[in-house]
Structure 1
Amino acid sequence: MAVTWAKALSWRSRRHLLDPVGTGSVADVVRRLGPVPAWPDAAAELAIGTRRTDGRSGDATRALAAGNVVKVFAFRGATHLMTPRDAGAYLAVRASSRMWELPSWERYYGLAPSDWPRFREYVRQALAEGPIKRSELAAALGRISRYRHLRSIVAEGNDTLLKPLTWQGDLGLGPVLDGEATFLSLDSVRGWAGIPDLDEAGPAVIAAYFSTHGPATPDRVHDWFGKGLGAKRRDVTRWLSHLDERLEAVTIAGDLVLVLCEDLDDLGTTTPSTAVRLLPGRDPWVMAPGTSDTRIVPPAHREAVSWSANLVISRGVVAGTWKVRGERLDITWFSDSGRVPSTALDQEAMALARFLDRRLEVAVEVG
């Protein structure tokens, strides 16, 4: 089967709901992408909204408030949006590092590994009546002498202590209320599936990665789940072996990569995409394969991508950057990206204006 990277990126673009743009809900997009970076809020809104034909700014926030998606600490400890059904598997992998048992954590927080079950239960009780603000969670910790020393840590916005509570399925983040972060019990969210067994979760999240972000090398899978979720290398290797019968090795332009067997026919018949899209910085399109992937991020422009610039994607490749200043949309088209696709950029500008609900005047420069 002859597969080129142009075909592979086109197939991935369809899986990402970028070409064609999807017609589903916020939860449908999040389910397809897996974890979506939740900060900054505007970037999360656009990452989801640009993949929906009727997407509008604020849709993701409303979906979070309705419990259609959850916000949790996941990759690299940052907040991500996931579906209630799928979140537990990613959290199981993240929890496998058991960082809260490190001696440095015990010294800083005054909690030994044996103290965590009781601490978790105390926090679950604090969340039992419904979502609470950060100040209310801090006050709850201050009401008992055992945890009083943690009150200021939480009140001052140090969320590191709270991350293991998310990883173990106790706590999620809700929408900001009166300028404060809110926290909720994940058990209260409709559709929350809990934390599965690690050897069930690992193969599941790897298969999901291939389904949306493939084709990919085993090394990239190790990077994504090892550096991103703290999974041990031996565990990722074992999970890949569990998927042996579902994965097929394919050579694309000299690169040996893996593809889910169920996707092989579709991949082989895909035609190269010519789509142009305006994406936010740190969009899953570039973060999942990694900014070191030269097929998507030309080395000359990696610095801009790494610094979270908003991205112009053409045929699946980073081809420029963009910024909104008031009612002006400034697009920088990279000089090494070929001819400026003026009509496609105008169409994308109209879609962005619709999403933001504001008029935008487009200015394009080649640089």
Structure 2
Amino acid sequence: MRLTWDQVFAWRLRRQFVAPRADGVAEIVGRLCGVQAQVTSAAEMAVALRSSAPRAGALVDELNNGTLIKTWAMRGTLHALEPGLAADCLSLLASARTWEKPSWQRTFGASPDEVTALTEEVRRVLDGAVLTREELVDAIVADPAYHRLGEQLRSGWGALLKPLAWQGAICHGPAQGTKITFANPAQSIKGWPGIPEPDVAGPRAITAYLGAYGPATPETFDAWLSRGSLRKTVLRRWFSELGDTLTQVEVEGRPGYVLTEHLDDLATTEPSTAVHLLGGFDQYVLGPGTNDTVLLPGDHRAKVSRAAGWISPIVVSAGRIVGTWDLTDDVVLISMFDNAPLPKGLDTAVTHLATTLGRNSLLVQAQ
């Protein structure tokens, strides 16, 4: 089957609840395969912009009551996820065993045996407890065996804790003021299924991903999940084992897989002419990746994927990224690529942004 990118982008906008929007926070987070939550306000906006009745703090409320989990997941970054998919993705990330690579050991100063021991120690320390980072690290380094790891454990990047998260030993708990906390997901997350075997988790994670970001290749899935860390033979086997569940299609010369159940819907999707304003770190661009030059022109990538991993808020027109935006007081500053004029339909997107932010109105200014 041959499809056009206009069809694919319109289908993705609908599948990702950009339009029409959805009712529940968990439904949105589940469909998106998680929302990046390095910046909490960006995660809240990703959900609110897709909500039919946006509410301030709705995502954090779901995290605090254990309906969703916040943990280091895709690409080693913090995400808010539905527990079942989180367990599947963590299983796949753990299967890459990145902490056993010499380069990782040189950078973070812990051997594989030390990571194994630290995993069990953290399970012990967090048993029945929710601790701030300071409390957790103090409890760990009370054992002289972990003294030299104290600096890495206190790092805000959490590099030494990520392998523990991927093995299901630790996740984020409810914040205490400005302080983050950590908990054991088996005790703090409702319906936590535990970490499955990778061969069970792989096909489920692929199915979930294609349901929002298809058509896609195994390589695109791996780039989204692990920055290419999974074994290629295993990855291809998981795709193969899905059998008739998947169908290979061609989009203007580019092959990719979709869920067979979505074929008819994709084939009958009409292109969208709507304009949308999506926030920073939005899954619409993170799902397929900023290297997708059909979605995001390569000569403008640096305006979206910026220094230190920052992802700009984006202007989307007809499904393609055509600019970036920023908010200063009550003014939306729009920067269109190639100095293009502001797109027709922008007013509707700005009105929706104002509603999402609880503002009566917002002004627009081209940069």
- Confirm or deny a common fold (TM above 0.5): yes
SS in 1 for 2:128: coil
| 1:179 alignment partner in structure 2 | 178
C-alpha deviations, 1:103-150, integer Å up to 9, x for none? Answer: 455567665434444432221121122311011001101322222333
One-letter amino acid matched to 1:240: F
| 2:312 alignment partner in structure 1 | 309
C-alpha deviations, 1:295-330, integer Å up to 9, x for none? Answer: 211233222111222111111111222111112222
| 2:364 alignment partner in structure 1 | 363
| 2:68 alignment partner in structure 1 | 69
| 1:150 alignment partner in structure 2 | 149
Cα separation, 1, equivalents of 2:88 and 2:327? 37
| 2:350 alignment partner in structure 1 | 349
Alpha-carbon contact 1:329-1:360 (below 8 Å) kept: no
SS in 2 for 1:236: helix
Cα separation, 1, equivalents of 2:124 and 2:180? 18
Which stretch of structure 1 is more off in the superposition, 167-176 or 105-114?
105-114
Percent identical among aligned pairs is: 37
One-letter amino acid matched to 1:253: E
Gaps of 5+ in 2: none
Cα separation, 2, equivalents of 1:295 and 1:338? 20
One-letter amino acid matched to 2:127: A
One-letter amino acid matched to 1:353: A
Alpha-carbon contact 1:92-1:197 (below 8 Å) kept: yes
Cα separation, 2, equivalents of 1:361 and 1:263? 37
| 1:133 alignment partner in structure 2 | 132
Alpha-carbon contact 1:214-1:259 (below 8 Å) kept: yes
| 2:79 alignment partner in structure 1 | 80
| 1:272 alignment partner in structure 2 | 271
Alpha-carbon contact 1:346-1:362 (below 8 Å) kept: no
Q: Establish whether residue 42 from structure 1 lines up as the match of residue 38 from structure 2.
A: no
| 2:22 alignment partner in structure 1 | 22
Cα separation, 2, equivalents of 1:239 and 1:33? 21
| 1:201 alignment partner in structure 2 | 201
Cα separation, 2, equivalents of 1:309 and 1:109? 29
One-letter amino acid matched to 1:182: T
| 2:192 alignment partner in structure 1 | 192
Alpha-carbon contact 1:141-1:150 (below 8 Å) kept: no
Alpha-carbon contact 2:75-2:225 (below 8 Å) kept: no
Alpha-carbon contact 1:10-1:272 (below 8 Å) kept: yes
Alpha-carbon contact 1:328-1:360 (below 8 Å) kept: no
TM-score by length of 1: 0.91
Alpha-carbon contact 1:56-1:354 (below 8 Å) kept: no
C-alpha deviations, 1:143-191, integer Å up to 9, x for none? Answer: 2222233334323435111111100001001233232221010101111
One-letter amino acid matched to 1:199: D
C-alpha displacement of 1:277: 1.2
Distance 1:238 1:352, change over 3 A: same
| 2:10 alignment partner in structure 1 | 10
Match for 2:328 among 312, 325, 329? 325
Distance 1:352 1:141, change over 3 A: same
Alpha-carbon contact 2:217-2:257 (below 8 Å) kept: yes
Distance 1:107 1:221, change over 3 A: closer
CA RMSD in angstroms, aligned pairs only: 2.2
Distance 1:327 1:128, change over 3 A: same
Which stretch of structure 1 is more off in the superposition, 46-55 or 239-248?
239-248
Cα separation, 1, equivalents of 2:2 and 2:114? 57
Which stretch of structure 1 is more off in the superposition, 100-109 or 74-83?
100-109
Alpha-carbon contact 2:73-2:86 (below 8 Å) kept: no
Distance 1:216 1:100, change over 3 A: closer
C-alpha displacement of 1:350: 2.2
Cα separation, 1, equivalents of 2:298 and 2:32? 25
Gaps of 5+ in 1: none
Alignment of 1:266-305 (within 5 A): 266-305=265-304
C-alpha displacement of 1:282: 2.7
Cα separation, 2, equivalents of 1:360 and 1:339? 18
One-letter amino acid matched to 1:19: A
Distance 1:19 1:358, change over 3 A: closer
Alpha-carbon contact 2:325-2:333 (below 8 Å) kept: yes
Distance 1:306 1:117, change over 3 A: closer
Cα separation, 2, equivalents of 1:12 and 1:26? 18
Distance 1:300 1:146, change over 3 A: closer
SS in 2 for 1:161: coil
C-alpha displacement of 1:223: 3.0
C-alpha displacement of 1:332: 2.8
Matched positions, count: 362
| 1:214 alignment partner in structure 2 | 214
Distance 1:42 1:10, change over 3 A: same
Alpha-carbon contact 1:172-1:185 (below 8 Å) kept: yes
C-alpha deviations, 1:202-233, integer Å up to 9, x for none? Answer: 111112111110012344234334516x2122
Cα separation, 2, equivalents of 1:140 and 1:105? 24
Alignment of 1:233-272 (within 5 A): 233-272=232-271
SS in 2 for 1:51: coil
